[in-house]
Amino acid sequence: MTTKTGTLYGIGVGPGDPELITLKALKVLQEVPHIFASCSTKNTYSLALSIVRCHLNGAGIEHLPFPMTKDPQVLASAWERNARRVLEVLATGRDAAFVTLGDPLTYSTFGYLLKTLKRLNPEVGIVTIPGITSYSAAAALTHIPLTEGEESFYLVSGALGAARLKEVIDKSDNIVILKTYRYFDEIYQVLADLDLLDRTTCISRCGLEGETIVENLRELKGRDLPYLSMIIIKKKGKGY
Check whether residue 186 and residue 101 sit in a common domain: no
Residue 239: which pLDDT band, with cuts at 50, 70 and 90?
Answer: low
Q: Are 30 and 55 in contact (CB under 8 A)?
A: yes
Q: Regarding predicted confidence, which is higher, 170 or 8? A: 8
Residue 239 maps to a domain: no
pLDDT of residue 1: 52
Mean pLDDT score of the chain, rounded to an integer? 91
Residue 1 maps to a domain: no
The CATH number that applies at residue 79 is 3.40.1010.10
Residue 161 maps to a domain: yes
Residue 175 maps to a domain: yes
Check whether residue 21 and residue 105 sit in a common domain: yes
pLDDT of residue 66: 84
| Rg of the chain in Å (alpha carbons) | 19
pLDDT of residue 102: 95
Q: Are 224 and 181 in contact (CB under 8 A)?
A: yes
Region 156-183: what's the mean pLDDT?
A: 90
Region 121-130: what's the mean pLDDT?
A: 96
pLDDT of residue 69: 76
Residue 240 maps to a domain: no
Check whether residue 48 and residue 122 sit in a common domain: yes
The residues facing 202 across adjacent strands are 214, 231
How many structural domains is the chain composed of? 2
Q: Is the pLDDT of residue 127 over 90?
A: yes
Residue where one domain finishes, among candidates 107, 129, 151: 129
Q: Is the pLDDT of residue 16 over 60?
A: yes
Residue 180 maps to a domain: yes
Q: Are 79 and 67 in contact (CB under 8 A)?
A: no
The CATH number that applies at residue 145 is 3.30.950.10
Check whether residue 78 and residue 21 sit in a common domain: yes
Residue 88 maps to a domain: yes
Which range, 50-59, 64-73, 187-196, has the best average confidence (pLDDT)? 187-196
Say what the pTM is.
0.90
Sheet with 96-100, strands from edge to edge, namely 60-66, 34-40, 96-100, 7-12, 125-129
Residue where one domain finishes, among candidates 79, 96, 129: 129
Region 39-52: what's the mean pLDDT?
A: 81
pLDDT of residue 103: 96
Q: Is the pLDDT of residue 204 over 70?
A: yes
pLDDT of residue 202: 97
Check whether residue 199 and residue 99 sit in a common domain: no
pLDDT of residue 68: 77
Check whether residue 124 and residue 15 sit in a common domain: yes
Residue 238: which pLDDT band, with cuts at 50, 70 and 90?
Answer: low
Region 177-196: what's the mean pLDDT?
A: 93
Residue 2: which pLDDT band, with cuts at 50, 70 and 90?
Answer: low
Q: Is the pLDDT of residue 240 over 70?
A: no
Check whether residue 193 and residue 92 sit in a common domain: no
For residue 225, give its domain range: 134-234
